[in-house]
């Protein structure tokens, strides 16, 4: 009987059996986790530029574009994990490492990650049952991700690490995972089991191989799994040579789960800073990739006027009626955090209010948007455990959780009229137009200027935020799923957690 091996398996077998000369100045780092390690942000132009060839990635699967063969080293141009993934934690980790190490030192990353996986996906004694528990009709995407690693991502990580050991020295392990095990108290013990097995299988000395564990998107940044950071904080007490990498201040893309490109750059630099610190090297990475919110001061005035939703994009904007000299705003009083106000500029366009800005977010209604309330410090406004959106309610307009008062009350159609030089905002649920803080049931449109603001004295503009993906029902890892056949777990629907 003839037995046939795939090209990739033949290559793997030959590489595993090859004898290479180990370069003690080739520092290798193993990386694993779920989507934030996989890379969930679309790389920007800067992310393809000035990549030092001393920063290498080992292809852990075959790529067709860019063409890469599993088991071979390449200059670490994104994506590093799989074709179709994006910018992740390892990209700026490696760039920062080579920028701060002697010129004869190379850095390589071996990155095996699966968006959406629980930590059990990397546990050899649990992965088979974990995959078997998946519903093909709703989790086919996750099943396919596992198939890319022959259903054993841990084994793929070890096989690739052994190839890396033929030419380099494993210096550490990077982990970013936890959203799919959110707040589970036994998570640190499961991570320890994987770490201990890697140390054993690769014949490493744990004292020489630190584990770096990154925090999830923080709650104050709008993170849905920010509570898991209290679990991650227990990692150093569970694993002697483990360190937590802070995500403080790192912006998220609007889905509450994934970082923006700037967030990934900063997280990667923070991983590197800690790794270098353990080598006795102090790296001044700064946090200049994190947009510093511009705090508007004093009286505000109109800056840029928009003429389409596409032009607005992810920019925060105010809703101003220039004909009346009024604008909408939120005071944010503790007794009435949901109240929306509409008043003259001297009352509305002042930095003493909690919020005067909104941001467009996708709606489940075709052609419509939800208007997320954004505070003066650039952070999204939330209260009562829900995100605050402009809503038309039973009697008035408020800022409430999505459709919290009436069905489709948070869904708005934006109709720009060039002759009026403004937008009419029509509420899907109430069936009429926004005019003031009354219910949006007016049949005659009122035209508003949607615009950025600046301090009357400084000319500074508000910060920009990122438009999230249009996911009606998605996992804690941000993957859209079919709503008809959800297996037990926690999901996000219209910005709110649900349990099935």
Neighbour count for residue 202 (Cβ, 10 Å) = 17
C-alpha of 434 from chain center = 33
Q: How many residues in the chain?
A: 500
Helical H runs in 301-433? 309-312, 345-348
257, 179 Cβ separation under 8 angstroms: yes
> For 357-375, b where at least 16 C-beta lie within 10 A, e where not — what string?
bbbbbebbeeebbbbbbbb
CA distance 268 to 90: 6
Helical H runs in 168-326? 187-201, 229-232, 235-238, 261-278, 309-312
- For Cα atoms 343, 444, 413, give the angle at the middle one, nearest 5 degrees: 80
Active-site residues: which are they?
35, 255, 258
- For Cα atoms 285, 287, 292, give the angle at the middle one, nearest 5 degrees: 160
CA distance 408 to 390: 11
| Cβ-proximal residues to 427 (8 Å cutoff; 6+ apart), any chain | 392, 408, 409, 411, 412, 413, 433, 434, 440, 441
CA distance 369 to 372: 9
Q: Which of 76, 109, 77, 58 is nearest to 275 (CA)?
A: 109
Q: Which of 36, 32, 259 is nearest to 160 (CA)?
A: 32
C-alpha of 202 from chain center = 31
Token pair belonging to 454: 């600046």
CA distance 25 to 19: 18
User: At 477, is the secondary structure helix, strand, or coil?
Assistant: coil
Q: Are strands 473-475 and 242-245 parallel, antiparallel or unpaired?
A: unpaired
| Cβ-proximal residues to 200 (8 Å cutoff; 6+ apart), any chain | none
Q: Are strands 318-321 and 449-455 parallel, antiparallel or unpaired?
A: antiparallel
CA distance 433 to 441: 6
CA distance 33 to 244: 15
């Amino acid at each position: 009987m003839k037995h046939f091996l795939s090209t990739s398996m033949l290559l793997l077998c030959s590489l595993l059996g090859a004898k290479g000369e180990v370069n003690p100045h080739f520092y290798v780092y193993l990386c694993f986790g779920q989507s934030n390690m996989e890379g969930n942000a679309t790389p920007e132009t800067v992310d393809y530029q000035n990549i030092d060839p001393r920063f290498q990635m080992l292809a852990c699967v075959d790529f067709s574009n860019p063409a890469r063969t599993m088991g071979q080293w390449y200059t670490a141009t994104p994506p590093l994990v799989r074709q179709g993934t994006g910018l992740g934690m390892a990209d700026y980790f490696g760039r920062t490492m080579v920028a701060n190490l002697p010129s004869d030192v190379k850095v390589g990353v071996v990155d095996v990650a699966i968006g959406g996986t629980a930590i059990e996906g990397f546990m050899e004694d649990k992965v088979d049952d974990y995959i078997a528990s998946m519903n093909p009709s709703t989790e086919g995407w996750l099943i396919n991700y596992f198939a890319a690693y022959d259903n054993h991502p841990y084994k793929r990580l070890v096989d690739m690490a052994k190839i890396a050991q033929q030419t380099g020295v494993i210096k550490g392990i990077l982990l970013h995972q936890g959203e799919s095990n959110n707040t589970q108290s036994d998570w640190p013990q499961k991570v320890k089991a994987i770490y201990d097995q890697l140390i054993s299988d690769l014949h490493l000395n744990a004292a020489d191989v630190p584990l770096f564990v990154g925090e999830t998107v923080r709650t104050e940044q709008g993170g849905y799994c920010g509570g898991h950071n209290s679990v991650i904080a227990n990692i150093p007490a569970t694993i002697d040579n483990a360190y937590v990498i802070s995500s403080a201040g790192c912006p998220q893309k609007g889905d509450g789960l994934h970082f923006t490109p700037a967030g990934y750059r900063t997280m990667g630099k923070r991983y590197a800073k800690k790794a270098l610190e353990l080598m006795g090297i102090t790296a001044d990475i700064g946090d200049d990739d994190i947009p510093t919110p511009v705090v508007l001061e004093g009286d505000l005035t109109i800056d840029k006027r928009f003429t389409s939703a596409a032009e607005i994009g992810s920019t925060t904007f105010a809703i101003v009626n220039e004909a009346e000299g009024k604008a909408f705003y939120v005071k944010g009083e503790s007794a009435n955090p949901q109240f929306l106000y509409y008043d003259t500029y001297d009352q509305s366009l002042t930095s003493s209010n909690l919020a005067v800005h909104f941001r467009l977010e996708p709606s489940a209604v075709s052609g419509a948007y939800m208007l997320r309330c954004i505070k003066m410090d650039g952070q999204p406004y939330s209260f009562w455990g829900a995100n605050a959106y402009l809503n038309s309610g039973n009697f008035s307009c408020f800022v409430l959780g999505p459709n919290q008062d009436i069905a489709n009350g948070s869904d708005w159609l934006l109709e720009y009229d060039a002759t009026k030089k403004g937008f009419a905002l029509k509420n899907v649920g109430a069936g009429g137009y926004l005019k003031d803080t009354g219910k949006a049931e007016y049949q005659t449109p009122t035209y508003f200027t949607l615009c950025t603001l600046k301090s009357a004295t400084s000319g500074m503009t508000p910060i920009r935020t990122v438009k999230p993906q249009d996911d009606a029902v998605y996992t804690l890892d941000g993957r859209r799923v079919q709503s008809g056949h959800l297996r037990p777990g926690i999901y996000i629907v219209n910005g709110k957690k649900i349990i099935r």
